[in-house]
Amino acid sequence: MLYAIHCLDKEGAEPLRAQHAPSHAAYMRSHAPAIVFGGPLLAGDGGQRIGVLVIVEFDERQALDAFIANEPYKRAGLFRQVDVHPYEIVMNRFSSRG
């Protein structure tokens, strides 16, 4: 099943984000087979990173929960909010259904 993981940083979290960026990137690379797409959420000016949006695919909720729990930004306490929802791709720039 696909899941959308939407994470918002705590206020003033830029130093924490910078400190853990290398381990976050390595973690994401190590889970590349499960990642459909993802990247940082940006502030209104398009510059500052304020969170993360990742679409992942896991067969079991336990695997999803472990993925989130062990993510370096999450473990470091970077996020003020993490929302997870089942997700369905209906349209993308290459194809559409319905």
Is residue 96 in some structural domain?
no
Is residue 97 in some structural domain?
no
Is residue 47 in some structural domain?
yes
- The model's pTM is 0.90
Is residue 94 in some structural domain?
no
Is residue 92 in some structural domain?
no
**φ and ψ at residue 35, rounded to 5 degrees:** -95, 120
Q: Which stretches within the chain are classed as H helix?
A: 14-30, 61-69, 72-76
Q: Residue 34: what pLDDT?
A: 98
> Which pLDDT tens digits describe the chain residue by residue (98 residues)?
999 999 999 999 999 999 999 999 999 999 999 999 999 999 998 889 999 999 999 999 999 999 999 999 999 999 999 999 999 998 887 766 65
Is residue 61 in some structural domain?
yes
CA distance 12 to 17: 10
Count of domains observed in the chain = 1
Query: Whose CA is closest to 13, among 55, 73, 64?
Result: 73
Is residue 38 in some structural domain?
yes
CA distance 17 to 50: 9
